[in-house]
Amino acid sequence: MVGIIVTLRRLEAGVVVNRTVLVVDDNAKIVEVLSAYLKSEGFDVRTAADGPSAVASVAEQRPDIALLDIMLPGIDGIELTRRFQREHDLPIILVTAKTEEIDRLIGLEIGADDYVSKPFSPREVVARVKAVLRRVDGSHIPDAPSAIEVGDMRIDNERREVTIAGEVVELTRTEFELLATMASHPGRVYGRLQLLEAVSGDAFEGYERTIDAHVKNLRKKIGDDPRNPRYVRTVFGVGYKVGTD
Amino acid sequence: MVGIIVTLRRLEAGVVVNRTVLVVDDNAKIVEVLSAYLKSEGFDVRTAADGPSAVASVAEQRPDIALLDIMLPGIDGIELTRRFQREHDLPIILVTAKTEEIDRLIGLEIGADDYVSKPFSPREVVARVKAVLRRVDGSHIPDAPSAIEVGDMRIDNERREVTIAGEVVELTRTEFELLATMASHPGRVYGRLQLLEAVSGDAFEGYERTIDAHVKNLRKKIGDDPRNPRYVRTVFGVGYKVGTD
DNA sequence: CAGGGGCTTCACAGGCAGTTCACACGTGGT
DNA sequence: ACCACGTGTGAACTGCCTGTGAAGCCCCTG
């Protein structure tokens, strides 16, 4: 069981302080991947592998937000959520193994600020962490515009929704991640390995050409012709990019 | 007239040099992935697939840091660590297959500067490489160069795009690599073998004159006259260079 | 447990890019 | 000025890269 704490910058008595995120999961790999992403986004990260460790970590120093797995040794995520919210008014994002659990949790009025179901992409988690922090203290969190526009296409990270000329386009999780990743830096070229990592969290396993398949499906849905693309351009021998030539 | 925007560099006797990382692993894919990420962060990367090759590579030219797999044909990573640290005072990051091995290794006081356990994310590795280099020589490591300017030509690595006086010039992958490689050290002369390696990743197969063909095509696209070049100059009997005379 | 959706992998086809060759031209040395 | 050798160049050839449809697999759903 591992817990991670992450932070984004915040102004405190005139001093710039990184936001701290506590990540709690017993899967070391998940913790590692999330840590890397959160750190690269400017958060400070602390980790815990089980319930009691998480409690100790929060008691020692209150993080700005906690990411809790539900299945946890010692004390489970639900109990932790109750305790942290009551005692520390801590924003919480719960991680569940099954989608259906979310409904049950909401029914139980657990009161977490957001939920993420596995499998999730690191990008998605980071986006939600930022969203919750933004919502909670309404402040300026650098980066992460909630929506990006490329031509008449609009990518809304918070709602996880893409519209073209106002029309909603239904995308799968992977397709959205692919598009959102590339659109976060329009014009920048992304290699297949980078995209594979952004989509699956691991660049080492998996077939690079899988990305091609997703790009194909994505293009079909957004009505993009590979020969004359408006949105997703292929960069021969390198990868793909979105937007400006 | 040469202008450099940003880059991962260090001043050495007045000369700008990229940091060099030696990646040693017998898994070709891992080497490939790590190389890609490290290069995209502005590092020069050399690779070796076994112990003896690594020794030869370091003897030939000392890298700034080495990334060693523990399980290695010929000479294992632990022995390499001892040798490199004793003989070259080389910063080392060890890669292990099992987390538990790390504790054992620390117990053995191998003296590596850091450890990474598989599976790891490429980002994590890059972060640790930077951290170790920062720790070792105290200097801040800036982010990867986003663009280099030579006269009115701008080479944007992130977008993989070249503009001259604001006009975009369409280049193939090889042409871009060629130009970007030479432009990373304006004024420095590159031999055909060096360029062949930079472009194909392998200097030992291929015809040197192939570079000439690419230079020809490149010059045509950027509007450079071989007799009176503004950007890519021929160094008779040696190779090519970009920029200042 | 049958159905469906989504992710991955595979095989094939077409096209673009890389390589090579041969010859013309320029360079530098004698 | 001549010669030898390195370089510029256009065209043909080869090979790699990408786009694509289809099949397999896994997980979730009803």
Closest Cβ–Cβ partner in A28, A36, A187 for B159? A187
* Separation in Å: C16 C1' and B162 CA: 20
Note down pLDDT in tens along chain A; length 245 residues. Answer: 322 222 233 333 333 457 889 999 887 767 777 787 787 777 888 988 888 989 998 988 889 899 988 878 888 888 888 888 888 888 888 877 665 555 555 545 666 788 777 667 777 788 788 878 877 765 544 455 678 899 999 999 888 899 999 999 999 999 999 999 999 889 999 999 989 988 887 777 788 999 999 999 999 999 999 999 999 999 999 999 998 76
Judge: B121–A235 Cβ closer than 8 Å, yes or no: no
Check: CB of residue A61 under 8 Å from CB of residue A36. Answer: no
Judge: B33–A203 Cβ closer than 8 Å, yes or no: yes
Judge: B119–A28 Cβ closer than 8 Å, yes or no: no
CA distances from B129 to B38, B47, B102, B166 (A): 9, 15, 17, 36
Query: Which residues from B are below 8 Å from A241, CB to CB?
Result: 159
Distance between CA B99 and CA A3 in Å, rounded? 17
Q: Which of A204, A234, A238, A240 to substitute to test the interface with B, most B CBs within 10 Å?
A: A204
- Paired with A20 in beta bridges are A44
Closest residue to C28 (CA to C1') is B236
pLDDT at A231: 95
* Separation in Å: C6 C1' and B114 CA: 40
Q: List, for residues B129-165, the tens digit of each pLDDT value.
A: 887 887 777 666 666 667 899 989 999 998 999 999 9
Under 8 Å CB-to-CB from B171, ≥6 apart: which residues?
B162, B179, B218, B221
Helical spans, DSSP H, in A89-230: 99-107, 122-137, 173-183, 192-200, 209-222
Closest Cβ–Cβ partner in A28, A185, A202 for B121? A202
CA distances from B49 to A104, B57, B219 (A): 51, 11, 36
Closest Cβ–Cβ partner in B122, B158, B172 for A203? B122
Q: List, for residues B227-239, the tens digit of each pLDDT value.
A: 889 999 999 999 9
Query: Which residues from B are below 8 Å from A201, CB to CB?
Result: 121
Domains in chain B (CATH in brackets) are 20-137 (3.40.50.2300), 147-242 (1.10.10.10)
Check: CB of residue A59 under 8 Å from CB of residue A91. Answer: no
> Predicted confidence band at B17 (pLDDT cuts at 50, 70, 90)?
low
Give one DSSP letter per residue of A225-236, joined into a string: -TTS-SSEEEET
Judge: B36–A191 Cβ closer than 8 Å, yes or no: yes
Residue of chain A minimizing CA distance to B172: A236
Q: What is the DSSP letter of B90?
A: -
Q: List, for residues B44-63, the tens digit of each pLDDT value.
A: 888 888 999 999 999 988 99
Helices (H) and strands (E) in chain B, counts: 8, 15
Q: What is the DSSP letter of B144?
A: P
* Separation in Å: C25 C1' and B196 CA: 25
Judge: B123–A236 Cβ closer than 8 Å, yes or no: no
Taking alpha carbons only, the member of A145, A125, A6 closest to residue A63 is A6
* Separation in Å: C22 C1' and B201 CA: 28
Q: List, for residues B156-185, the tens digit of each pLDDT value.
A: 998 999 999 999 999 999 999 999 999 988
